[in-house]
């Protein structure tokens, strides 16, 4: 299929700023009318900033490195005492840009924030199988320790493992130059941890006016916060999402961006650039939106904000009826032509079209109605297969990171999976989308329910956000489960019954091609580049965690070199890439499970279990020199990576 989005569709992504409070209110009234008339039926709509800033990329970083790590002591100010020659950082999409997580290290100290968790009474009996249960048996109810805290642990040398101090509260962490930022549900608190035994709070900001944190990123000494704020319909602007160290941070009406085409809206998203050392807000940018899954991607110079555009069901259904004139009465087609030419908003036309169709359907006897419904359901299915990319559109805006001003806008068919669906490379933006799965958007027209027809595509956009290249039709009637871009290659996993693994050649951005495909059982929901020509997939097969080692040396003939199944239904890696740890020097990786932690080797192109760490509800792991630190809800276990023996352990609760 040689589908290319029409220029009118690309123009739907145009955005501008409000002129005044009245302008905002008028826009909201139009947007609300869309929801009232069912404009969002079955389709996620609204301009949503995402749950994640996907990455920030340096200019000369040709290949997105999977892991932030430090290999030399001089890279950080370690202060007095010994320091490791190497240590790991949080697994991030792009090296050098940190993402919030529950575990951080500076090479000597570990900062761990497991959050509020159930604490079981010691001596609690172990549950036994029913056939060996005694006649009288009871288990004490667990209680919850509400006094959550962040553990500051002396981690290096390993034999001196000890708890230095605790910081009250919990939240995700970011660390830069002895400043530890704790991102909690109500604000950000920054601690100076230069003296690990006595952390001192140096600044604090709090979320205001029904605002909450969506996500954050750290680039050098700049903290990027993404906040979402409920709209006050009585007075939508100005609004103040944050109480900063210098008072309320107020966002003026003229600083809020919105799509030119009104979309159902219930929140405003604000990007704030904060100085990590002082807590001062340096710059802001704001967008209207709706709560839901969208995506934001940051490069060194640009911020890409994506949002879902409303489905134009009126145009779609009108086209369907016109294309099937042999079963539609002439008077209905004549009335439809009149409605199309009305100088009215599409939502009003949609109401009139439903009235016309309703009168037609009511004029039929039961036999005629059954025959029509059966025929229409079949025909609309065929029509959707050809036109499914017209149903769902994602708008994209590009902002300059220096001034946070919109530089360009556009749109593409489909919806995005997560932060890994976006990637900027060599002046182009690559985006992977899924189109289709219509939900119940046609019920209101009496044309049947949703369908599972879908298509998965790759689009390449220039800096004006115009589509310049595309590779279409991966995994028909499936949806994307995982995406990874590595330099001039792209890797996409789709799934419904089997796991097609696609390799894309992106060396020519104007002619991207699907070079190879591999179909295997199960699916991968996280892809991680290993050494040259090797990609690791983490997913599931037969309700167990499955690891796949892919050989992509020949992009036209990818293969699964090896696979390994864990006796686990779930791993946190399936939910967050932060739970994954790679040590390329030892050719091993770590992933947590509900029964413990697992150290896997991928040397010699084989997946082998090097060590299973039991007796711990593993959450994360990191390495300092040749020691692996496995962090669980209530303890840290240290392993010597030369023989995988336990060398130390610290109880945290």
Give the list of residues 6+ apart from residue 247 with CB closer than 8 angstroms, or none.
Answer: none
For residues 23-43, average pLDDT: 65
| The pLDDT value given to residue 394 | 86
How much is the pLDDT for 7? 38
pLDDT reported for residue 34: 57
Return d(Cα 578, Cα 100) in angstroms, integer. 9
Q: What is the pLDDT of residues 322-332, one digit of tens each?
A: 999 998 899 98
Task: Please check the confidence at residue 637 and state whether its pLDDT lies above 90.
Answer: yes
Could you tell me which of 47, 33, 41, 43 has the C-alpha nearest to residue 392? 43
**Phi, psi for residue 369 in degrees, rounded to 5:** -65, -45
Comparing CA positions, the residue from 592, 536, 590 lying closest to residue 569 is: 592
- Mean pLDDT to the nearest integer, 635-648: 97
As a whole number, mean pLDDT of residues 340-361 equals: 83
The tens digit of pLDDT for each residue in 364-403 reads 999 998 898 888 888 888 888 888 888 888 888 888 878 8
CB 563 within 8 A of CB 549: yes
Rounded to an integer, what distance in angstroms lies between the CA atom of residue 429 and that of residue 435? Answer: 19
**Buried b or exposed e, range 12-40, using 16+ CB within 10 angstroms:** bbbbebbeeeebbbebbeebeebbebbbb
pLDDT reported for residue 85:
93
Q: What is residue 255's DSSP assignment?
A: G
Task: Read off the tokens for 431.
Answer: 């985006």
Average pLDDT over residues 526-542: 95
- Which pLDDT score, from 0 to 100, does residue 41 have? 33
* pLDDT: which is higher, 126 or 303: 303
Q: Is the pLDDT of residue 143 over 60?
A: no
pLDDT in tens, 584-609: 999 999 999 989 999 999 999 999 99
Rounded average pLDDT over 447-463:
82
Least confident of 28-37, 101-110, 157-166, 469-478: 28-37
Mean pLDDT across the chain, nearest whole number?
83
pLDDT at 337 over 70: yes
With vertex at residue 348, the alpha carbon angle to CA 342 and CA 350, rounded to the nearest 5 degrees, is 95
* pLDDT value at 626 more than 90: yes
pTM (two decimals): 0.84
User: Mean per-residue pLDDT for 338-349?
Assistant: 79
pLDDT at 632 over 50: yes
Average pLDDT over residues 229-235: 93
pLDDT tens digits for range 433-447:
999 866 566 666 766
Report the helix count and the strand count for the chain, using DSSP H and E.
6, 45
The mean pLDDT of 625-646, rounded to a whole number, is 96
Q: Which residues contact 154 (CB under 8 A, 6 or more apart)?
A: 108, 109, 160, 161, 162, 163, 164, 196
pLDDT digits (tens, 9 = 90+) for 197-216: 999 999 999 999 999 998 88
For residue 506, pLDDT beyond 70: yes
- In which band, very low, low, confident or very high, does the pLDDT at 466 lie, cut at 50, 70 and 90? very high
For residues 84-108, average pLDDT: 93
- pLDDT(275) > 80: yes
Q: Pairing mode, if any, of strands 523-529 and 87-91?
A: unpaired
405 or 515: which leads in pLDDT: 515
Residue 50's pLDDT band, with cuts at 50, 70 and 90, is: very low
143-144 and 109-112 strand pairing: unpaired
β-strands 428-436, 422-425: how paired?
A: antiparallel
- Residue 408: how many other CB atoms lie within 10 Å: 19
Share of the chain above pLDDT 70, in %: 82
The pLDDT value recorded for residue 399 is 80
In the predicted structure, residue 40 carries a pLDDT above the cut 60: no
Compute the residue count for the chain.
Answer: 653
80 vs 234 pLDDT, higher one: 234
């Amino acid at each position: 299929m040689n589908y290319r989005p029409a220029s009118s569709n690309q123009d739907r992504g145009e955005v501008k700023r409000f002129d005044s409070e009245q302008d905002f209110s008028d826009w909201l009234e139009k947007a609300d009318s869309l929801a009232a008339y069912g404009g969002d039926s079955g389709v996620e709509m609204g301009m949503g900033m995402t749950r994640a800033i996907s990455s920030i990329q340096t200019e000369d970083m040709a290949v997105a490195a999977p892991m932030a790590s430090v290999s030399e002591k001089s890279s950080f100010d370690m202060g007095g005492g010994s320091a490791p020659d190497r240590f790991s950082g949080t697994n991030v999409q792009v090296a050098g840009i940190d993402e919030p997580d529950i575990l951080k290290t500076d090479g000597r100290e570990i900062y761990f924030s497991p959050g509020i968790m159930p604490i079981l009474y010691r001596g609690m009996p172990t549950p036994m199988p029913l056939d060996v249960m005694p006649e009288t048996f009871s288990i004490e109810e667990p209680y919850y320790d509400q006094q959550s805290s962040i553990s500051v642990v002396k981690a290096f040398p390993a034999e001196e493992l000890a708890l230095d101090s605790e910081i009250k509260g919990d939240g995700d962490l970011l660390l830069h130059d002895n400043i530890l930022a704790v991102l909690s549900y109500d604000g950000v608190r920054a601690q100076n941890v230069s003296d690990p035994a006595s952390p001192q709070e140096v600044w604090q900001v709090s979320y205001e006016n029904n605002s909450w944190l969506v996500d954050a990123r750290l680039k050098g000494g700049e903290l990027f916060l993404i906040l979402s704020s409920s709209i006050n319909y009585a007075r939508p602007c100005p609004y103040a999402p944050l109480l900063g160290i210098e008072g309320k941070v107020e966002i003026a009406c003229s600083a809020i961006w919105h799509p030119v085409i009104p979309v159902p809206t219930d929140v405003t998203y604000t990007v704030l650039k904060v100085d990590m050392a002082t807590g001062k807000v340096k710059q802001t940018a704001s967008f209207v939106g709706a709560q839901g899954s969208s995506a934001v991607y940051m490069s060194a110079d640009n911020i890409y904000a994506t949002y879902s555009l409303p489905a134009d069901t009126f145009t779609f259904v009108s086209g369907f009826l016109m294309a099937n004139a042999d079963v539609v009465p002439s008077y209905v087609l004549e009335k439809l032509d009149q409605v199309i030419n009305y100088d009215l908003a599409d939502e009003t036309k949609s109401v009139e079209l439903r009235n016309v169709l309703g009168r037609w359907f009511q004029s039929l006897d039961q036999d005629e109605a059954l025959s029509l419904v059966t025929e229409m359901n079949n025909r609309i299915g065929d029509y959707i297969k050809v036109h499914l990319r017209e149903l769902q559109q994602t708008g994209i805006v590009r902002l300059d990171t220096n001034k946070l001003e919109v530089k360009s806008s556009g749109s593409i068919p489909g919806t995005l999976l997560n932060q890994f669906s976006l990637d900027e490379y060599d002046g182009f933006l690559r985006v992977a989308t899924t189109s289709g799965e219509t939900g119940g958007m046609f019920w209101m027209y009496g044309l049947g329910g949703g369908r599972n027809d879908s298509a998965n595509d790759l689009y390449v956009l220039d800096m004006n956000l115009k589509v310049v290249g595309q590779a279409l039709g991966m995994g028909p009637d499936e949806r994307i489960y995982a995406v990874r871009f590595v330099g001039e290659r792209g890797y996409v996993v789709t799934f419904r019954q089997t796991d097609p693994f696609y390799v894309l050649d992106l060396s020519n951005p104007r002619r991207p091609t699907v070079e190879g495909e591999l179909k295997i059982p199960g699916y991968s929901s996280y892809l991680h580049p290993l050494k040259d020509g090797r990609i690791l997939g983490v997913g599931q097969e037969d309700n167990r965690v499955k690891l796949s080692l892919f050989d992509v040396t020949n992009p036209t003939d990818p293969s699964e070199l090896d696979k390994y199944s864990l006796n686990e239904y779930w791993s946190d890696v399936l939910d967050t890439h932060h739970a994954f740890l790679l040590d390329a020097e030892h050719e091993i990786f770590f992933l947590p499970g509900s029964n413990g932690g697992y150290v896997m080797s991928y040397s010699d192109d084989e997946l082998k279990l090097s060590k299973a760490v039991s007796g711990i509800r593993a959450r994360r792991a990191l390495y300092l020199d040749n020691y692996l630190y496995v962090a669980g809800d209530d303890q840290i276990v240290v392993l010597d990576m030369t023989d995988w023996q336990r060398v130390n352990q610290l109880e945290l609760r």
